[in-house]
Amino acid sequence: MGTGMSKDADGSSHGSEEGEENLDHAGGQLYVSLKMENLQLKGELIPHVYGSVPLVGSWDSSKALSMERESASMWELSFVVPPNHETLDFKFLLKPKHSNAPCVVEEGPNRLLTGGTLQGESRLAVFKNGDEILECRVFIKADRVSPFDLAASWRAYQENLQPSTVRGIPDVSINSTPMVEAENGSSASLELDLEHYVVPAPSISANSALVYAANNAENPRFSNVDGPGNASFSYKDSVVSADRPATIKQMEVVIPDPSKIYSGSGMVESKSVGTFSPLQKQDGHRGLFVDRGVGSPRLVKSSSSSAFSSSLKLDTETKNSMPAAAGAVTAAAVADQMLGPKEDRHLAIVLVGLPARGKTFTAAKLTRYLRWLGHDTKHFNVGKYRRLKHGSNQSADFFRADNPEGMEARNEVAALAMDDMISWMQEGGQVGIFDATNSNRKRRNMLMKMAEGKCKIIFLETLCNDERIIERNIRLKIQQSPDYAEQPDFEAGLQDFKSRLVNYEKVYEPVEEGSYIKMIDMASGHGGQIQVNNISGYLPGRIVFFLVNTHLTPRPILLTRHGESRDNVRGRIGGDTVLSDAGEIYAKKLTNFVEKRLKSEKAASIWTSTLQRTIITASPIPGFPKIQWRALDEINAGVCDGMTYEEIKKNMPEEYGARKKDKLRYRYPRGESYLDVIQRLEPVIIELERQRAPVVVISHQAVLRALYAYFADRPLKEIPHIEVPLHTIIEIQMGVTGVQEKRYKLMD
C-alpha cells in the first residue's frame, strides 16, 4: 500500500525519507491511524476524540468520535486525509459507557496533526478522573494509499456489511423492513392521479427533456471558417509511429453480474496480477465504521484486515493490509481538496469505439461527474464539428475508408476539435473529453502527436457484443441524432446508419497503444469488464472507479426534503427537532405517493440522514428497507447551529457578510461549507449510480441542492441557490437517454 510513517509516544519516527517525500506527490492519500494504549483503562470508560474540521467538526463532547478497541489495551481511530490536509486540532477524552457521568478530557494543550504527523513534543495523554490519574501512550501511523486500494477494499467490505454505531447512531444502518400491508388502507387515500401533483421544473434545468447528448458538447471555435481549405492544422503532417513498445502496467477489472453473486462473496484487488477476483467470506470477518466526522466521508478498517493480506500476493510496497472504505468511494472524495491544486498535467480522455456503443453517453456522464467534483471539464464532440462544417445530411458513403475526400474531411474536423481542446486547456481547462470514433491507429497517432508536451492522453474504448443493446442504440441514434433530423423515413435512416457502421467495422483497430481504459460489455448493467493499461495518478484512478460503478439500467431516483420541522417554523438552522403538524401531514402524503409510484418496485429502498426529522418522515412508508446515511445529514452550521439568520446578522455580522459574499466556499465556524458537503456526498453519488432499483432520498436542503446539481449538471457556483422547496418531490429518471426530471408538489 506504499510507504508509511509512524510516531510513537517517545517521539521516534519510522519510515524512509523517500516514503515521506512520496506523500506529497499528486494523487497520494494518507490512511491515518490514531492509537491510545493503557493497561489500566477500565471497560466503563471509552476513549473518544473530538476537535475541529475536518476530523470531527465539533468541540461538543457529546459529538466526540468513539475509538474502537483493537486489543485488550489498545484503542484506535482511523481515517483518510490528503497529504496537504489542513491541520487537525483535537483532543482525547474518556466517556462513561453506560452512565451520564461527565466526560474526562485529557490535560494539556490541543494536539495538532499535520501531514500525518503530530506536531510539537510528543507526550502521554493524561486524564484526571477525581483522585485517579490515568496515563496513556499515544501512537500515530500514516500510510500512503491509492484510489485502487480503497476502491477494491470497499468492494470487499460491501459484501460483508455489518453496521456498527458511532456516537450512538449508525453511520450507514440498514433496516430491512418486511413487506406489510398499508395500515387502514392508506394508499387508497391518494385518490387523485399522481399527475395531479406535477409542477413545472425550473426552466434552467438541464436534461429536462430528451436531448441528444452531443448537442450539449462544447461549441466549435471555428464557426467563422467556411471550408476545409481554411483549416489551420494539417493532419497529414501529424503521424506518429505505431510501432511503440507494449506497455506493462496492465490491469483487468471484471465486473460480475450482480444477479449471479451470492451474498457471501466479496471483491478484492490483487496487486500482483491486477485483477478483481472473488474472496470467500472469512469467519468472523466484519467491518467497523470509523466516523471521520463532518465534511469528510468515513473510512472502515476491518478488525480482521489480515484476511485481505493473507489472501493476496502483495509486493513489498503493498505488504500492509489495505484499509476498507465505507460509502463506496472514499478514495475519490478525500484525495484532493475541492477546487484546490490541479493535476500536474492536463488530461485528455479520448473516446474510441464503433458507432452506437455509448461513447457520447459515457462522455457526457463523465463530464457531468468531474464538473460536479470541481474539475474544470469540457466535452468536445467531433460529430458536432463535422455537422457544422460539412452539414448534417452526409450519407454512409461519406464514412467509407476508401473515400479520400470523406477521410480528409473527417480527419480535418477531428484535428480542429483537438486543437480547440488544447487551446482551452492552455487557457486553464483541466480535463477535456474528446468524443469521436477514433477507430484506427493513424487517427489516434495524429491526436497523440498534437498532444505531445501539452496534455496527457488516456484512450477510453467502449466495446459492446450484445446485439440487442447495439440495435437499441442504433434506433435511439436515428431518433435523436441531428444527422437524421431531416430524414422523414425512419427505416431509410436505419439502413443508412447500419451501412455507416459496416464501413467503420471494416477498418476498426482496437486500442493497444498508450494509456487506455477498455469498457467491455458494461452497458447492460449485468456484469462486464474493464481493462486498464498504463494508468497512474489520482484523477485517472478516480475516473476508472467511476466507470466501474456506472451502468445504463433505467430507474427513478426520488429526492425530497423532510417534512417541515419545528425549527423550520421558527426559522432556525440546523438542529434536530421533530416535525411540525404540517410536516406530519407531508409524511403521510409522501407515504401514499411512494406506495403508488413504486408499487411494482419490490427492490426499491428509502435513504435518509441520521437526523430524526428525516427518519420520522420516512417511518410511515411500509414495505421498503430504510437506510440511514450520515453523509446525508444537513450541512453543519457549527457555532451557528440553532440560530436564525437574523441572529447571525446581529451577533456575528462578519460571518453573515462572508456567507452572503460566497455561499459556496463559506464555512461556518467549526462547521461546513457547501464544498465540504459535496466532498462527503460523493460516496452517495457513486452508490446511487450503482443502484439498479429505485431509491427515495429523504434529506435536507443543502444536501439535496448538491445531489440535484450532480444529476442536472448545474455549475458549482449555482448550488447554494438551487430551489429545493419543502413538500415537493423531484423525480430523476436515469437511463439510456440520459437524465430527465419531473417535480411533484404534494402540499402548498
Q: Is 350 exposed, middle or buried (0-12, 13-18, 19+ CB in 10 A)?
A: buried
Q: Are residues 596 and 530 in the same domain?
A: no
More confident residue, 744 or 215: 744
CB 648 within 8 Å of CB 618: no
**377-411: buried (b, 16+ CB within 10 Å) or exposed (e) per residue?**
bbbbbbbbbbbbbbebebebebbbeeeeebbebbb
Residue 51 lies in a domain: yes
| 102 burial level (CB within 10 Å; 0-12, 13-18, 19+) | exposed
| 486 backbone dihedrals φ, ψ, rounded to 5° | -100, 10
| Residues 6+ away with beta carbon under 8 Å from 712 | 205, 206, 207, 739, 741
Flag whether pLDDT at 220 surpasses 80.
no
Contact call for residues 289 and 326 (beta carbons, < 8 A): yes
Using DSSP, state whether 31 is helix, strand or coil. strand
State which of 506, 523, 549 marks the end of a domain: 549
- Say yes or no to pLDDT of 537 above 90: no
How do 528-533 and 250-255 pair as beta strands? antiparallel
* In 197-282, beta strands by DSSP E: 198-199, 250-255, 265-269, 276-280
* CA–CA gap between residue 171 and residue 287 (Å, rounded): 12
- Residues 371 and 713: beta-carbon distance below 8 Å: yes
Q: Give whole-number Cα distances, 323 to 30, 288, 716, 734, in Å.
A: 11, 11, 31, 32
- Same domain membership, residue 622 and residue 577: yes
Is 562 part of the annotated catalytic residue set? yes
With respect to residue 322, please indicate whether it lies within any of the assigned structural domains.
no
Single-letter amino acid code for the residue at 254: V
CATH, residue 469: 3.40.50.300
Residue 147 confidence class, pLDDT cut points 50, 70, 90 = low
Bridge partners (DSSP) of residue 347 are: 431, 456
Set 483, 567, 634, 731: catalytic member:
634
Residue from 537, 544, 546, 552 nearest 517 by CA: 544
569: CATH:
3.40.50.1240
> Where is the domain boundary, 549, 569, 597?
549
Q: Are residues 542 and 567 in the same domain?
A: no
Residue with the three cell numbers 400491508:
181
Residue 736's pLDDT band, with cuts at 50, 70 and 90, is low
Task: Say if residue 72 is exposed, middle or buried (CB neighbours under 10 Å; 0-12, 13-18, 19+).
Answer: exposed
Q: Is residue 202 part of a domain?
A: no
* Bridge partners, 380 (sequence order): 434
Question: In this structure, what C-alpha cell is assigned to residue 205?
Answer: 434545468
d(CA 421, CA 450): 11
Number of folded domains that form the chain: 3
Strand partners, 463: 520
Whether 670 and 638 have beta carbons less than 8 Å apart is answered as: yes
What count of other Cβ atoms lies within 10 Å of the Cβ of residue 654? 7
Query: Are residues 567 and 540 both part of a single domain?
Result: no
User: Do the domain assignments include residue 127?
Assistant: yes
pLDDT band at 340 (very low <50, low <70, confident <90, very high): very low
Percentage, residues of the chain above pLDDT 90: 37
Q: Are strands 555-561 and 265-269 parallel, antiparallel or unpaired?
A: unpaired
Assess whether 536 and 573 both reside in one domain. no
Q: How far apart are CA 310 and CA 557, in angstroms?
A: 40
- Domain assignment present for residue 630? The answer is yes
Inside any domain, residue 227: no
Same domain membership, residue 488 and residue 369: yes
The yes-or-no verdict on residue 375 having pLDDT over 70 is yes
Contacts of 262 (CB under 8 A, 6+ apart): none
DSSP-based three-state secondary structure for 75: strand
Summarize the confidence of residues 166-180 as an average pLDDT: 43
Which tens digit of pLDDT belongs to each residue from 670-689? 899 999 999 899 889 999 98
Residues 704 and 631 in one domain: yes
Phi, psi (degrees; rounded to nearest 5) at 624: -130, 145
For residues 580 and 435, membership in a common domain is answered with no
CA-CA distance, 431 to 455, in Å (whole number)? 9
491 with 541, same domain: the answer is: yes
Last residue of a domain, one of 549, 564, 590: 549
Sign of torsion over alpha carbons 55, 61, 67, 73: positive
Res. 295: pLDDT tops 50: no
* pLDDT for res 84: 66
Does a structural domain hold residue 7? no
Distance (Å) of CA 216 to CA 45, 209, 367, 378, 729: 58, 13, 11, 10, 26
Region 520-535 average pLDDT: 80
Taken as a whole, the chain contains a residue count of 748
Least trusted range by pLDDT, from 41-50, 169-178, 293-302, 481-490: 293-302
Rounded Cα distance, 72 and 43, in Å: 10
Percentage of residues in the chain having pLDDT higher than 70: 67
Query: Can you state the percent helix, strand and coil of the chain, rounding each to 5?
Result: 35, 25, 40
Dist. CA 154–CA 327, nearest whole Å: 8
Mean pLDDT of the chain: 74
CATH number at residue 103: 2.60.40.10
Q: Is residue 272 part of a domain?
A: no
Closest CA to 407 of 452, 442, 435, 447: 442
User: Where is pLDDT greater, at 667 or 260?
Assistant: 667
Whether residue 520 is found in the same domain as residue 613: no
- Do 394 and 481 lie in one domain? The reply is yes
Inform me whether the pLDDT recorded for 185 exceeds 70: no
Are 329 and 549 within 8 A, CB to CB?
yes
* H-state helical runs in 564-700: 566-570, 581-597, 612-618, 645-651, 653-661, 674-690
Tell me the residue type at 566: R
Phi, psi of 441 (to 5 degrees): -65, -35
* 435 tagged catalytic: yes
Whether residues 491 and 592 share a domain: the answer is no
Lowest mean pLDDT across 21-30, 340-349, 447-456: 21-30
- Which sign does the torsion angle of CA 488, 490, 495, 498 carry? positive
Q: What is the distance between the alpha carbons of residues 297 and 683, in angstroms, rounded to a whole number?
A: 7
Q: Cell for 572? A: 432556525
Contacts of residue 283, defined as CB under 8 A and 6 or more positions apart, other chains included, come to none
Cβ–Cβ contacts within 10 Å for residue 229, how many? 7
Question: Alpha-carbon distance 235 to 232, whole Å?
Answer: 10
What SS3 state is found at 316? helix
Q: What pLDDT score does 668 carry?
A: 94
- Nearest partner of 607 among 724, 674, 677, 704, judged by Cα: 704
Among the listed residues 464, 641, 676, 727, the single catalytic one is 464
CA dihedral for 398, 400, 402, 404, sign (positive or negative): positive
pLDDT over 70 (residue 539): yes
Please give the Cα distance from 199 to 742 (Å, whole number). 8
Does 299 or 45 have the greater pLDDT score?
45
**Residue of 48, 379, 551, 562 marked active site:** 562
Q: Which of 414, 357, 347 is nearest to 377 (CA)?
A: 347
The model scores a pTM over 0.75: no
- Answer left, alpha or beta for residue 711, where phi above 0 means left and psi between -120 and 50 means alpha: alpha
The residue with greater pLDDT, 475 or 174, is 475
Q: What is the span of the domain harbouring residue 652? A: 556-745
Q: Residue 88 — pLDDT band, cuts 50, 70, 90?
A: confident
Indicate if the pLDDT at residue 28 is higher than 60: no
* Closest by CA position to 52, among listed 638, 674, 682, 663: 638
> Which grid coordinates belong to 691?
443502484
Residue 138 bridge partners (DSSP) = 36
Write phi, then psi, for 709 (nearest 5 degrees): -60, -35
End-to-end CA distance of the chain: 54
Report the C-alpha gap between 25 and 47 in whole angstroms: 34
| Phi, psi (deg, nearest 5) at residue 661 | -70, -40
Alpha-carbon gap, residue 291 to 67, rounded angstroms = 9
